[in-house]
Structure 1
Amino acid sequence: MPPSALAIAPRTARLPVVDAARGVAILAMIAYHLSWDLDALGFAQFDLFTDPLWLAARTGILGSFLVLAGVSLVLAGEGGLDRRRFLRRLGLLVAAAAAVSAGSYAVFPDSPIFFGVLHHLAVASVLGLAFVRLPAWLTAVLGVAVYALPEVTAVPLFDAPALRWIGLMTFEPDSNDYVPLFPWFGLVLLGIALGKAWRGRGAVAAWRPGAAGRALAWAGRHGLPIYLVHQPVLYGALSLLAMVTLRGDADTRVFLENCEARCVDTGGVAAACAATCACVADGAKQAGLWPDLIANRLTPDSRARVTALVRECRPR
């Protein structure tokens, strides 16, 4: 869930309140990804994919970036859209999205990112230009319609791999970051409507930040590089920590070596296999299954519990 650092800046002076709002969303995104990493590597257990609070947090963080992207698109055109700047930032978005896809295919081939938030923001930045001149009320109505349409419409035609980015398919594909056009472009449209109604005027626009606000605004202005760098740094550091803490005894080292070797032999990617095996080891210890697991004396019941643990630990 990245920032709309991504968002196109207006020709006029930037509004600190918009940058700071994006900075808050960036901090929330980093916290969410940190929780994902801790769960995936076995340091903690979070029900990220079924708990309503976690699902609401993900939707709120992603939605805030998309709404802010819509607001920024309107503000960018207030003094006349700077096409050169727009195209340069669009090119950066496309290049970053391509890099994320390539990396995800290499590390998580079973759940690659083929149309994530960066892909969405690149497409939405272009499509949004067609709506910035519409009345705010009409754009808002269209935004609600786009957001609601997938709830009532699913067409098998859109199940084709080449059309899955649209979002009107009959199932959700297995991807670590899937942000299709429907319903999420609806939030960009709502942001455009908000930007047209606000237009950077009033007390909120006149806000001048203190030290904390300036730090948030700085993060908001550099959202794209932060998005690209933060997860490799977090995941890499925690993976090293997992190797140190979970490989501290001989039994754990032997289990992890054998588990990772079997995983790679069956077509798994080394980094994903290491994370999965570390998660299984830690989960088995927490569940009291570790002694029986390493001694190969699992009962049918405990074997089923280990199988469920492996399923939970696999990258999604």
Structure 2
Amino acid sequence: MSGTDAAAQKVRTGRIHLIDSIRGFTIISMVLFHLCYDLRFINGVQLSFFRPSFMDVWRDSISWTFLFVAGLMYAQSHDNARRGAKYLLVGLAVRIATTVANVDVPVRFGIFFCMGACTLACLLLDRCRLLPRSVPACLALAGAFLLVLGVNSGYVGIDNWVVRLPGELYSWGGLAWLGFPSPTFESGDYYPLLPYLLMYLSGATLGRHLREKGGYPAWAYAQGPRWLEFLGRHTIAVYLLHQPIILLALGDLL
């Protein structure tokens, strides 16, 4: 192997700095979203732009990115069982903290529960040799995600092409974790296995494909802004700390 080939191989097996930058950008977006949410719904500040349609798109851009990237990183992890358990523990900590704080609706089956459950579900599929690993499969899973996006509201499909799911699925609160919440279920941040497992699997499929094809493109390994990558490498810490800091700051300012 020539010196040039060896250097190229080294780059393609190094840290994927692009992923750190994407996570850093997304965690900043999340902090700003929660700042706007707290200002409007907790402190009563009128934000004319922070309305349901805009809120939904902004929220989805954050959570969908986190789930897809978490799926991408499935192929890079040396211990996905431990990784999934860590996510679940963070989700449990968030549930306890939001219940005790009683500032807003407690978080039940939030984004970290989802990433943990999806990681373990993906691991099970992988062990059973059922995890796909191609670009068409990645796109198919992303399309399936969009088709079943309404499962938490009782239907699957898009626009006028929908199928209503049996109401019995939603009559028992014990299936909320799976994606079938009862009429009395409440959560400040709700991301059950369905439909979000499909978004995670879409990322995991692409990540596995890229790894088997020799890695990400060379430009994905180029270092970005250090401060942005730092945030991307510490998203869990930022997630756990940002809301208490925002609430304390707003309490002092308003």
TM-score (norm 2): 0.77
Structure 1 residues 126, 88: closer, same or farther in 2, change over 3 A? closer
Number of aligned residue pairs: give it: 220
1:55: Cα distance to partner? 1.2
1:31-180, aligned counterparts within 5 Å?
31-39=32-40, 40-46=42-48, 48=50, 50=52, 52-76=53-77, 82-83=78-79, 86-108=80-102, 111-129=105-123, 130-131=125-126, 133-136=131-134, 137-149=136-148, 150=151, 151-152=155-156, 153-159=164-170, 160-169=172-181, 173-180=185-192
Q: Deviations over 1:255-310 (max 9, x none)?
A: xxxxxxxxxxxxxxxxxxxxxxxxxxxxxxxxxxxxxxxxxxxxxxxxxxxxxxxx
Q: Residues 133 and 206 of structure 2 are in contact (CA less than 8 Å); yes or no, is this contact kept in structure 1?
A: no
Q: Deviations over 1:48-105 (max 9, x none)?
A: 462x2221111111111011011111233xxxxx23xx34433332222111111222
SS at match of 2:220: coil
Q: Deviations over 1:6-62 (max 9, x none)?
A: xxxxxx642111111110101100110111111121233356462x22211111111
- Whether 1:204 aligns to 2:226 is no
1:114: Cα distance to partner? 1.4
Bigger-Rg structure (1/2): 1
1:139: Cα distance to partner? 4.7
1:198 maps to a residue whose letter is L
1:227: Cα distance to partner? 0.3
Q: Percent identity?
A: 27
1:222-237, aligned counterparts within 5 Å?
222-237=234-249
Q: What is aligned with 2:253?
A: 241
Q: What is aligned with 2:203?
A: 191
TM-score (norm 1): 0.63
Q: Residues 147 and 184 of structure 1 are in contact (CA less than 8 Å); yes or no, is this contact kept in structure 2?
A: no
Distance 2:55 2:120 in 1: 31
Q: Residues 120 and 181 of structure 1 are in contact (CA less than 8 Å); yes or no, is this contact kept in structure 2?
A: yes
1:271-282, aligned counterparts within 5 Å?
none
Supply the RMSD in Å over aligned alpha carbons. Answer: 2.5
The 4+ residue runs of structure 1 with deviation greater than 4 A are 46-49, 169-172
Runs of at least 5 residues in structure 2 that lack an aligned partner in the other structure: 1-12, 157-163
Runs of at least 5 residues in structure 1 that lack an aligned partner in the other structure: 1-11, 77-81, 243-316
Q: Residues 73 and 192 of structure 1 are in contact (CA less than 8 Å); yes or no, is this contact kept in structure 2?
A: yes
Q: Residues 173 and 185 of structure 2 are in contact (CA less than 8 Å); yes or no, is this contact kept in structure 1?
A: no
